[in-house]
């Protein structure tokens, strides 16, 4: 039994797409909905539609991926319309990622989602690394606290945030303390890509993506240990909040590790981009086989039960 129920959301299995991958158009969202995924989440949206950064802006790398998409999306109204037309009763849970270019934009979008009163959960993105000149809010604890205090004034339902990776215990503790002061913040998704890495093609002696001189967010195998550390530390430090794991999941093994570290559910990014929606059935079946091999009947049997020495 791979099912998981959290915040009123019932998932047949814990897997879904990482926001940004296969979720920009209705057709892509429908493809995730039609796959073996346990849920789906939309591309991070902005107030107005955006073309994003110049191409090439995603590249496969030897152990993962690099991207600097620049928030190409159809504008929040498109995803709001998708959510309004969505079969919430019969379909799998739908999440909506919101990533405004300013606090004002975020508040306007959240007010619209609030007024629509749909049974979908918002993932507020505090961690886009790819907008030239715009720092990731999640790396500024005071700014994060300010954004969240304004957000909860307009948005009263349970919601979550997408966090960037942290690399220092002091930063885990500081961010956890900020997040713990917002009771309606019910989940955090760890991690966004490891920002501003550089992949170099040796043969051509060149960068592999065009924006930002080749710098972009890193995903895939490169980020698994960082993702697991972030899931583990926020699982330990947050009061009564769920942690959604994201980073380096390409088989049942990494999905198991995220859940062992404390993840309630697990998102798939780079692997989904490279393999397509068929990855969900494969990873689900591998996770089920691994659990059987280890003698676990449910996810709760091992969630968070990482051993330390």
Q: Which residues of the chain form contacts with ligand DHB (CB under 6 A)?
A: 20, 44, 52, 68-71, 99, 125, 127-130, 192-193, 217
The least distance separating ligand DHB from the CB of residue 217, rounded to whole angstroms, comes to: 5
Q: Which is nearer to ligand DHB, 211 or 262 (CB)?
A: 211
Choose between 20 and 247: whose C-beta lies nearer to ligand DHB: 20
279 is catalytic: no
Residue nearest ligand DHB by beta-carbon distance: 69
**Positive or negative, the Cα torsion across 120, 146, 161, 67?**
positive
Q: How far apart are CA 87 and CA 281, in angstroms?
A: 22
- Closest to 190 (Cα-Cα) out of 226, 222, 215, 238: 226
Name the H helices within 213-302.
Answer: 224-237, 252-261, 270-275, 279-294
Give dist(CA 19, CA 6) in Å, integer.
Answer: 19
- CB of residue 204 vs ligand DHB: minimum separation in angstroms? 23
Indicate the DSSP class of residue 45: B
Distance CA 209, CA 193 (A): 15
**Residue 169: DSSP 8-state:** H
Cβ atoms of residues 11 and 93 within 8 Å: yes
13/73 with CB nearer ligand DHB: 73
* CB 83 to ligand DHB: min, Å: 19
Question: Measured from the CB atom, is 11 or 71 closer to ligand DHB?
Answer: 71
| Active-site position among 23, 128, 246, 279 | 128
Quote the least distance from Cβ 18 to ligand DHB, whole Å.
Answer: 9
Which of the residues are catalytic?
128
């Amino acid at each position: 039994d791979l099912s998981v129920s959290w915040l009123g959301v019932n998932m047949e299995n814990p897997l879904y797409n990482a926001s940004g991958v296969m979720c920009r158009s209705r057709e892509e969202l429908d493809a995730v909905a039609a796959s073996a995924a346990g849920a789906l989440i939309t591309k991070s949206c902005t107030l107005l539609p955006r073309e994003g950064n110049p191409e090439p802006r995603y590249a496969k790398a030897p152990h993962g991926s690099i991207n600097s998409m620049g928030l190409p999306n159809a504008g929040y109204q498109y995803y709001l319309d998708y959510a309004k037309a969505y079969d919430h009763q019969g379909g799998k849970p739908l999440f909506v990622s919101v990533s405004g270019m300013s606090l004002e934009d975020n508040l306007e979008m959240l007010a619209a989602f609030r007024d629509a009163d749909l049974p979908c959960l918002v993932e507020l993105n505090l961690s886009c690394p790819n907008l030239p000149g715009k720092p990731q809010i999640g790396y500024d604890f005071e700014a994060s606290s300010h954004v969240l205090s304004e957000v909860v004034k307009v948005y009263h339902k349970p919601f979550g945030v997408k966090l960037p990776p942290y690399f220092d215990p002091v930063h885990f503790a500081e961010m956890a303390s900020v997040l713990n002061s917002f009771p309606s913040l019910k989940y955090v998704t760890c991690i966004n890509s490891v920002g501003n890495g550089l992949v170099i093609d040796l043969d051509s002696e060149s960068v592999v993506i065009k924006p930002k001189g080749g710098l972009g967010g890193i995903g895939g195998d490169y980020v698994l240990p960082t993702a697991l550390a972030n899931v583990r530390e926020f699982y330990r430090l947050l009061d009564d909040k769920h942690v959604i794991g994201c980073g380096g999941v390409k088989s049942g093994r990494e999905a198991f590790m995220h859940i062992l570290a404390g993840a309630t559910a697990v998102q798939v990014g780079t692997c989904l981009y490279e393999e397509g929606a068929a990855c969900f059935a494969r990873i689900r079946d591998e996770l089920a086989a691994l659990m059987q091999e280890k003698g676990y009947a449910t996810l709760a049997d091992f969630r968070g039960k990482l051993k330390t020495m």
